[in-house]
Amino acid sequence: MHGTLDRQSQTLKGIAEGMGVDFNSPIVWPGLNEYNSEAMIKAIHPEPLPKLGTPELYRAHFRLLREGLVQWMKGEDTVQACFLIQNF
């Protein structure tokens, strides 16, 4: 079982390979995703952003994401709705 993020499926694949087992059809559960990065950024920057394509735009994207994560960890209301782990 893993979330929908690429890194989660890659991690499970690596673990399976290391254990010598075959996980051809793991259960994919979005509830295991930590947060919605797009929603996190929109919570602190609701205006449309340009499509990523330059190093400067990627840096700006990750600065906004980092700021959103900091606010989320502090419990600020603007980003609390982005928390996705549900139904536990």
Q: Which of 75, 78, 76, 49 is nearest to 63 (CA)?
A: 49
Q: Collect all residues with Cβ–Cβ distance below 8 Å to 6 and sequence separation of at least 6.
A: none
Q: What is the pLDDT of residue 61?
A: 93
Residue 84 — very low, low, confident or very high, per pLDDT cuts 50/70/90? very low
Q: Report whether pLDDT(81) > 70.
A: no
pLDDT of residue 83: 55
Token code pair at residue 23: 């996980």
φ, ψ for residue 2, nearest 5 deg: -155, 170
9-61 pLDDT, tens digit per residue, is: 999 999 999 999 988 889 999 888 877 788 888 888 889 989 999 999 999 99
Instruction: Identify whether the C-beta of residue 2 lies closer than 8 Å to the C-beta of residue 26.
Output: yes
